[in-house]
Amino acid sequence: MAYLFTSESVSEGHPDKVADQISDALLDHFLAFDPESKVACETLVTTGQVVLAGEVKSDTYLDVQTIARDVVNKIGYTKGAYKFSGDSCGVISLIHEQSQDINQGVDREDKEEQGAGDQGMMFGYATKETENFMPLALEISHTILIELAKLRRAEDEIPYLRPDSKSQVTIEYSDDNIPQKIVSIVLSTQHDEFDEDEAMLAKIKKDILEILIPKVKAQLPEYVQKLFTNDIVYHINPTGKFVIGGPHGDTGLTGRKIIVDTYGGKGAHGGGAFSGKDPSKVDRSAAYASRHIAKNLVAAGVADEILVQVSYAIGVVEPTSILVNTHGTSHVSLTDGEIAKIVAKLFDMRPAAIEKRLKLRNPIYVETAAYGHMGRIPETVTKIFESPYNGVIEREVELFTWEKLDYVDKVKEAFKL
């Protein structure tokens, strides 16, 4: 019998994502000026206020207020009508030094023997469902909001848009897990005040269906475009008016959108958030490494769908476990346990090895903090960082290294594919 699966996404202007982007912007600046920084930054945003907290061990000093304001302005909160603006919001910093009790379990004289920054389990997932090996419902949800943000910034086609928005996509699957059609799309977008509510709703629905959705479809491959039928049920701003939004409408906190950040409910999640954490925190680095493993295994043809779990003990170098689950889609004559043993030999999952392999001690994180950490396109960019205390620094960095298919040949050789 056919079944339904749903994933959601939120925009860069969603209050929780505003908090994530500020936390990762602080992390990037610390790593730009001191690559060995240990950082765990949390952010709270609410009406007219940004509160920064967390623990840092670094040789650099930052103007955290300016960094936070720049992020808020870049997102698009630049007007007094939003009740939250980068130029006028208060910024309170409660950041303090990292506990030496934690640090002594992480740092080692031999970098290769660096211990895990915390205990816990992390997951990576990949599926042949899309070209970038991500779940389809999440991929469409992200694309909707990325295109909506482009329209907001263009200011000519849908000029009344404000930064806060959410999307949700439900897909019908056949019994053999093949997407059949999109059943419903939910989109709530913040907007300017209108003179008349009924006319406002009609205008928003018309613009979404006639301007946004065609642009979304154009970004997707043909086999996905065919899922957009005339039977899709659209829920566009289903509560009606959405003028009050962003941090004025809801308080935002770092790390409250971890399913949006990963696989939209497919696979699994260990519970640890990513943003604001340097790569010694395996919550982040091992989750990236697990995605890297799963994606390369699926791309190499080991299975059509793979979930990888890895776990750690704080201060301990080697992971306490590595699990591989192929969900019955394996193309090799090995058990999942046997596949996991080969994976453990092929991929060095010690924290320092992960940092080195994926080049994680670089300022590459603010780009991850909206529209998902996984399924993104690897690229090399030049970034410029300014500090009143450290001057200006220019860094060429690789983004989304965990999305590279650089282990496919090694996987094929190891599994004799």
**Is 257 annotated for ligand binding?**
yes
**Is 16 annotated for ligand binding?**
yes
Rg over alpha carbons for the chain, rounded to the nearest Å, is 22
Residue 82 in 3-state DSSP? helix
**Is 256 annotated for ligand binding?**
yes
**Is 277 annotated for ligand binding?**
yes
**Is 147 annotated for ligand binding?**
no
Say which residues have a Cβ less than 8 Å from residue 13's Cβ, sequence separation at least 6: 75, 76, 77, 149, 162, 163, 164, 165, 190, 245, 246
Taking each helix axis from N to C end, the angle separating 336-346 and 282-300, rounded to the nearest 10 degrees, works out to 110
**Is 42 annotated for ligand binding?**
yes
The structure tokens listed for 107 are: 């740092």
**Is 355 annotated for ligand binding?**
no
Give yes or no for a contact between 114 and 38, defined as CB atoms under 8 angstroms apart. Answer: no
**Is 166 annotated for ligand binding?**
yes
CA distances from 409 to 324, 337, 413, 417 (A): 19, 21, 6, 9
What distance in Å separates the CA atoms of residue 117 and residue 285, rounded to the nearest whole number? Answer: 10
Which value, to the nearest 10 degrees, does the dihedral of the CA atoms of residues 332, 334, 337, 342 take?
-70
Give yes or no for a contact between 360 and 354, defined as CB atoms under 8 angstroms apart. Answer: yes
**Is 165 annotated for ligand binding?**
yes
Closest CA to 44 of 245, 253, 260: 253
Which residue ranges make up the annotated binding site for ATP?
Answer: 14, 164-166, 241-242, 250, 256-257, 273, 277
Which residue ranges make up the annotated binding site?
Answer: 14, 16, 42, 55, 98, 164-166, 241-242, 250, 256-257, 273, 277, 281
Which residue ranges make up the annotated binding site for L-methionine?
Answer: 55, 98, 250, 281
Which residue ranges make up the annotated binding site for K(+)?
Answer: 42
